[in-house]
Structure 1
Amino acid sequence: MSYLADVVLGVIEGITEFLPISSTGHLLLAEAWLGARSDTYNIAIQAGAILAVTLIYWRRITGLFLGLGQSENRDYLIKLAVAFGITAVLGLVVKKLGFALPETVMPIAWALVLGGIWMIVAEWLAGKKPDCATITLRVAIAVGVAQIIAGVFPGTSRSGATIFVAMLMGTTNRAAATEFAFLVGIPTMYAATGYELLKTLRGGGPAEDWTALGIGFAVSTVTAFVAVKWLLTYIQSHRFTFFAIYRIVFGGVLLALGAAGVLV
């Protein structure tokens, strides 16, 4: 049953990591019923989802590095580096401050609801501007900051925060904003995973069940690959409204359960 729980957690992570509905929020809720996991475990299965995106975007990634002779590729890589650098620096600051995820679901529920409303408003505002697929330095900086905000407030959604910040900052094209947000997430999550695993190996973290972690990692990789492929097709002709409504409804249900004393 323990390893079945790892399969369930892997599926949840794979589906929710890149859909703008908050993977951390869903995992925290799942662990309330399936048992808590360590930070190392949670970040490692997130890395499984990142591996899936790496596989999906491998042609784009190799094209950027092999095409360094072209100014547009160098410029794009610089923007990715800026966003990642901001996230890395601010992430270390957050770690030093001793930030810990909430142990109750109510903050997550409010983040889901408010985030859903914000998504609807943000996409409406972005829709009033001309279509633009350009990633500016302002967009890169905003995306880097948004990643930290999403990490500090579970339920916000890393993908949702970065995509919609990019759209509000000028990259109004959904596909372009999504691609940049996902590509920034690749080095960010690999670095976070390496950091946590290094802590564990040095004895700074709890002992891990590596079989359970491996199962969660593998399942999240496969599930995320399918989910992201679907999402990239979906956003070509659809807005993000469906995800915003899901967040509001799901968050509302959690708030009602909390008011009834079922959840805390």
Structure 2
Amino acid sequence: MSIIEAIIIAIVEGLTEFLPVSSTGHMIIAQSLLGVESNEFVKAFTVIIQFGAILSVIVLYWRRFFRFREVPGSENAGFLKYALYKYEFYWKLLMGFIPAAILGFIFNDMIDELLESVLVVSIMLVLGGILMLFVDRWFNRPEDGEQEITYKNAFIIGCYQCIAMIPGVSRSMATIVGGMSRGLSRRNAAEFSFFLAVPTMAAATGYKLLKLIMSDTGFELLKENIGVLIVGNVVAFIVALLAIKFFIGFVTKYGFKLFGWYRIIVGGILLALLLSGYELTII
């Protein structure tokens, strides 16, 4: 993979990671169009550059991300009560993270196989797009400030996140729809989706990096391509910062319908190309 190819794929990742359009699907499409060979490093690269996108969430929302509740009567509170109350935000993120962590570990090899299918991406883009056309009508909630998320809702949103293991679904779309189905406004559902991305993507990045290092040639591949990884993460970070700012303002004002039409058009074009015999495969 060249630096130019890495930059293009990282731009795609940064633009699409937090939008309900499937970053994985778009990176697969970009890789296919660029003719990038799908080897051990390239598969790891598309996951590891998500770390840059994670940092953009932490930088933009650092005041809310690093928040600790004051514990009333803390001098008399037991350790468990103190820890549960003070770090409640992080326990809720953990509840949302657990379903994807378990299923991702169990079905990791199957997910890797699906990542090579442009057909799967195309179909899921269209189906997800159709869903996006009706989300605002089904779950219309007023944008009335920050809403409290219960442990139960965090876990249910985490279950929705598991659907995004199918390339083309979009982790952002699945978790936002999950949040709105639990009574959250568009803005609050989107922001919790961003927060939940941090442990989820950090775990995926760490696991993929460890898996690469533990493979026979992985460590050498990592050393040879460390510059490509650094550039990819920096580009993904910068682009994701801009994308998040745009997305929150846009979706709060206009909703998700435009993203739905975008998914349908892109997925439809890909399906038409595949049906006409055009080669859109991961090499």
TM-score by length of 2: 0.84
Aligned counterpart, 1:139: 153
Cα shift at 1:72: 7.9
Equivalent runs, 1:152-171 vs 2, <5 Å: 153-171=166-184
Cα shift at 1:204: 5.5
Preserved contact between residue 138 and residue 169 of structure 1 (Cα < 8 Å): no
Aligned counterpart, 1:201: 213
Aligned counterpart, 1:24: 24
Aligned counterpart, 2:62: 58
Structure 1 residues 73, 112: CA separation in 2 closer, same or farther (over 3 Å shift)?
farther
Aligned counterpart, 2:202: 190
Cα shift at 1:26: 0.5
Cα shift at 1:80: 1.5
**C-alpha distance in structure 2 between counterparts of 1:216 and 1:96, whole Å:** 24
Preserved contact between residue 19 and residue 172 of structure 2 (Cα < 8 Å): yes
Aligned counterpart, 1:248: 264
Preserved contact between residue 125 and residue 169 of structure 2 (Cα < 8 Å): yes
Preserved contact between residue 20 and residue 159 of structure 1 (Cα < 8 Å): yes
Report the aligned-residue RMSD: 2.3
| 3-state SS in 2 of match to 1:262 | coil
Of 174, 185, 195 in structure 1, the residue corresponding to residue 186 of structure 2 is: 174
- Greater CA drift, 44-53 or 131-140: 131-140
Structure 1 residues 204, 235: CA separation in 2 closer, same or farther (over 3 Å shift)?
farther
Deviations 1:153-204 (A, max 9, x none): 1010000110011101222x11111111110110111111111212222336
How many residue pairs get matched? 259
Deviations 1:118-148 (A, max 9, x none): 1222321102x67683423332122212222
Structure 1 residues 130, 224: CA separation in 2 closer, same or farther (over 3 Å shift)?
closer
| 3-state SS in 2 of match to 1:236 | helix
Preserved contact between residue 114 and residue 120 of structure 2 (Cα < 8 Å): no
Aligned counterpart, 1:7: 7
Residue 107 (structure 1) aligned with residue 120 (structure 2): yes
Structure 1 residues 195, 240: CA separation in 2 closer, same or farther (over 3 Å shift)?
same
Structure 1 residues 165, 210: CA separation in 2 closer, same or farther (over 3 Å shift)?
same
**C-alpha distance in structure 2 between counterparts of 1:192 and 1:147, whole Å:** 13
**C-alpha distance in structure 2 between counterparts of 1:12 and 1:254, whole Å:** 17
- Higher Cα Rg, which structure: 2
Structure 1 residues 122, 89: CA separation in 2 closer, same or farther (over 3 Å shift)?
same
**C-alpha distance in structure 2 between counterparts of 1:219 and 1:210, whole Å:** 14
**One-letter code aligned to 2:45:** Y
Cα shift at 1:75: 4.2
TM-score by length of 1: 0.89
**C-alpha distance in structure 1 between counterparts of 2:87 and 2:136, whole Å:** 29
Equivalent runs, 1:211-222 vs 2, <5 Å: 211-222=227-238
Q: Share of identical aligned residues, percent?
A: 37
Structure 1 residues 109, 184: CA separation in 2 closer, same or farther (over 3 Å shift)?
same
**C-alpha distance in structure 1 between counterparts of 2:276 and 2:138, whole Å:** 36
**C-alpha distance in structure 2 between counterparts of 1:125 and 1:117, whole Å:** 13
Residue 117 (structure 1) aligned with residue 134 (structure 2): no
Preserved contact between residue 254 and residue 263 of structure 1 (Cα < 8 Å): no
Deviations 1:226-253 (A, max 9, x none): 1111112222312111111100111111
Aligned counterpart, 2:77: none
Of 41, 46, 54 in structure 2, the residue corresponding to residue 42 of structure 1 is: 46
**C-alpha distance in structure 1 between counterparts of 2:122 and 2:92, whole Å:** 33
**One-letter code aligned to 1:247:** R
Listed as ranges, the gaps of 5+ residues in structure 1 are none
| 3-state SS in 2 of match to 1:117 | helix
Listed as ranges, the gaps of 5+ residues in structure 2 are 73-83
**One-letter code aligned to 1:148:** C
Structure 1 residues 98, 17: CA separation in 2 closer, same or farther (over 3 Å shift)?
closer
